[in-house]
C-alpha cells in the first residue's frame, strides 16, 4: 500500500506533537526538581532537562508557526548551552 501525502503529514504532525509534549514535561520536571531541592542549578541533569525541553518546545512552536514562544525557547536553549559549558569546563567539583 502506497502512503499518501496525508499519511506523511499525519506522521509528521504526530512527531512534532510528541516532541512538543516531551519538551513541556522536561521543562516542568526540571523546574519542579530544582524548586524542591532535588537538583541544584549546577547539576548536569537539570541543564540537560532544560536544554532538551526548550528544543522540544521550540520545535513544536516552529511547526505551528508561533514565533514568540519559539524565540523564548531559542534563548532558553542558548542559556542552557552556556550553563552546560560553564559546568563542564569551568566549575570544579
pTM, full prediction: 0.88
How far is residue 77's CA from residue 34's CA, in Å, rounded to a whole number?
Answer: 17
pLDDT band at 8 (very low <50, low <70, confident <90, very high): confident
Taking residues 66-92, what's their average pLDDT?
A: 96
Instruction: Tell me the C-alpha to C-alpha distance, in Å, between residue 54 and each of 1, 20, 44, 91.
Output: 37, 9, 15, 23
In tens, the pLDDT along 23-74 reads 999 999 999 999 999 999 999 999 999 999 999 999 999 999 999 999 999 9
Amino acid at each position: 500500500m502506497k502512503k499518501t501525502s496525508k499519511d506523511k503529514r499525519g506522521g509528521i504532525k504526530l512527531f512534532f506533537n510528541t516532541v512538543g509534549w516531551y519538551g513541556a514535561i522536561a521543562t516542568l520536571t526540571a523546574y519542579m526538581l530544582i524548586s524542591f531541592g532535588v537538583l541544584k542549578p549546577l547539576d548536569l541533569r537539570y541543564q540537560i532537562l532544560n536544554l532538551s525541553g526548550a528544543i522540544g518546545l521550540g520545535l513544536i512552536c516552529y511547526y505551528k508557526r508561533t514565533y514568540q514562544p519559539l524565540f523564548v525557547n531559542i534563548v532558553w536553549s542558548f542559556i542552557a548551552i552556556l550553563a552546560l559549558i560553564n559546568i563542564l569546563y569551568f566549575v570544579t567539583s
